[in-house]
Amino acid sequence: MTLPFFPTDLFDDDRAELLDIVHRVGLAPDQKFILGERTARFEAAIRDSVGAADAVACGSGTSALTLVLRAMDVGPGDEVIVPAFGCAPLAAAPALLGATPVFADIDPWTMVVDPAAVARLVTPRTKVIMPAHMFSVMADMPELRRIATGMGVRLLEDSAVAQGGTLAGTPAGMWGDAGVYSFVQVKTFGMPGEGGMVVTRDAGLGAAVRMLRNHGQDGKSRFVYHRIGYNSRFDEIMAEFQLYRLPTLPRRLRRRARIGEYYTGRFAELAGCGVLAPPPARDGRCYYVYSLLCERRDELREYLAARGIGSHVYYPAPLPRQPAFAPYTRPGDAWPAAELAARRTLAIPIYPHLTDAQVERIADAVCRFAKES
């Protein structure tokens, strides 16, 4: 039986409820399909779950990053420090606002941004430090918070992959001036559509994001535009669907954590065989994706595929090596840990409805490859 990397049946158990929600929202007397009372209730639920002053639902995690940066008045002449290894929006969001993304190298094992590299890159032009949690490991937010505070710059926490994770008792998204979640279908709290959320302890920042997501309107008077804004509004059907699924999120996260911890235990002995698992830990883990570092990455991928096991290569090139972001680099710049990760990282399945037997089958295959090859 083939085990895909991302399954096609993520929402099969919720099909009847989703169809019922479509019917209820579609026939509701108010005929409100965006930014209605369901979105407001969803925002309140997320806000209260993490202890934020505000939570603002947006059209996507990517647009949420852009809205927060804009609310922080990031623009031409500013610099935003981002990881050199990660998803394109990390660099695209500041660039689209006219700012310069500045790329910091990563920790070679955890693949999250290296705080020491960040500290070296802060200049008088630095406006925001924007770390991102990666795969199953949260960034070193206590140290990044210390750096941002000491340098007098804002801290924006890209928690797109980490909703539900905690570090030193603080939820992912709540270490910075603001944090961002993503609800695209494969995330830990994914849904069958696009969506994101901004969480913040700063009510003023939340209000600015709320205005910017809806063309600069304040929600009190239509067609009165206080700022030049965007269209990043949230869908009422998806808001109701996420409210329905929110109580079961902890259970799914626990299952992901159990699978991840099992993998890490099984793979602990493989470091000498060229396969390195993430560091063992419970605190600061999110288990969105479980990614190995493998010296013969492509061979392992082919080996797993031949045995019906899907895998995925995230980010085959560091961000500063991508054509879109090359103009923001200088000759001689180097990001050795990011370059190494791009050559070695391989993610294996970790979705919560994998059975114990399937998880064991995946781990067995990785171990056989490492020990027999």
Instruction: Give yes or no for residue 373 having a pLDDT over 90.
Output: no
When the pLDDT of each residue in the chain is averaged and rounded to a whole number, the result is 95
> What is the Cα–Cα distance from 373 to 104, expressed in whole angstroms?
35
Please report, as a single letter, which amino acid is at residue 313.
V
Tell me what pLDDT residue 197 has: 97
Instruction: Give yes or no for residue 355 having a pLDDT over 80.
Output: yes
Instruction: Give yes or no for residue 9 having a pLDDT over 90.
Output: no
pLDDT tier for residue 275 given thresholds of 50, 70 and 90? very high
The percentage of residues in the chain with a pLDDT greater than 90, rounded to a whole number, is 90
Token reading at 153: 């710059």
Instruction: Give yes or no for residue 8 having a pLDDT over 90.
Output: no
User: In Å, how far from its chain's centre is CA 109?
Assistant: 18
Instruction: Give yes or no for residue 84 having a pLDDT over 90.
Output: yes
| 85-109 residue pLDDT tens | 999 999 999 999 999 999 999 999 9
Instruction: Give yes or no for residue 58 having a pLDDT over 80.
Output: yes
Tell me what pLDDT residue 221 has: 82
220 among known catalytic residues: no
Kindly state the average pLDDT of the residues 254-261. 96
| 330-354 residue pLDDT tens | 888 999 999 999 999 999 999 999 9
- The answer for residues whose C-beta is within 8 angstroms of residue 180's C-beta and 6 or more apart is 61, 64, 65, 68, 156, 157, 158, 159, 160, 173, 196, 197, 198, 199
The DSSP H or E segment spanning 196 is strand 196-200
> What is the Cα–Cα distance from 63 to 75, expressed in whole angstroms?
16
180 bridge partner residues:
158, 198
Q: Tell me which residue has tokens 């995690």.
A: 61
Tell me what pLDDT residue 7 has: 87
| 33-48 residue pLDDT tens | 999 999 999 999 999 9
Instruction: Give yes or no for residue 217 having a pLDDT over 80.
Output: yes
DSSP 233: P
The DSSP H or E segment spanning 291 is strand 290-294
pLDDT tier for residue 222 given thresholds of 50, 70 and 90? confident
Kindly state the average pLDDT of the residues 118-132. 98
pTM higher than 0.75: yes
Do the Cβ atoms of 199 and 174 come closer than 8 Å? yes
pLDDT tier for residue 249 given thresholds of 50, 70 and 90? very high
| 147-189 residue pLDDT tens | 999 999 999 999 999 999 999 999 999 999 999 999 998 899 9
> What is the Cα–Cα distance from 251 to 270, expressed in whole angstroms?
30
Q: Which of 1-10, 166-175, 202-211, 222-231 is the least confident region?
A: 1-10
pLDDT tier for residue 322 given thresholds of 50, 70 and 90? very high
> What is the Cα–Cα distance from 192 to 359, expressed in whole angstroms?
25
Token reading at 75: 């623009």
| Cα angle 303-307-309, degrees, rounded to a multiple of 5 | 90
Topology of the domain comprising 248-372: Aspartate Aminotransferase, domain 1 (3.90.1150)
Topology of the domain comprising 12-247: Aspartate Aminotransferase; domain 2 (3.40.640)
> What is the Cα–Cα distance from 130 to 289, expressed in whole angstroms?
20
| Cα angle 115-55-283, degrees, rounded to a multiple of 5 | 40
Pick from 359, 187, 165: which is nearest to 289 by CA? 187
Pick from 360, 344, 371: which is nearest to 272 by CA? 371
pLDDT tier for residue 219 given thresholds of 50, 70 and 90? confident
Q: Where in the chain is the domain with CATH 3.90.1150.10?
A: 248-372
From 32, 127, 187, 220, active-site residue: 187
Q: Are strands 126-129 and 79-83 parallel, antiparallel or unpaired?
A: parallel
Neighbours of 303 (CB within 10 A): 19
Pick from 156, 231, 159, 234: which is nearest to 191 by CA? 234
Q: Where in the chain is the domain with CATH 3.40.640.10?
A: 12-247
Tell me what pLDDT residue 38 has: 96
Pick from 320, 344, 316: which is nearest to 333 by CA? 320
> What is the Cα–Cα distance from 159 to 55, expressed in whole angstroms?
14
pLDDT tier for residue 30 given thresholds of 50, 70 and 90? confident
The percentage of residues in the chain with a pLDDT greater than 70, rounded to a whole number, is 100
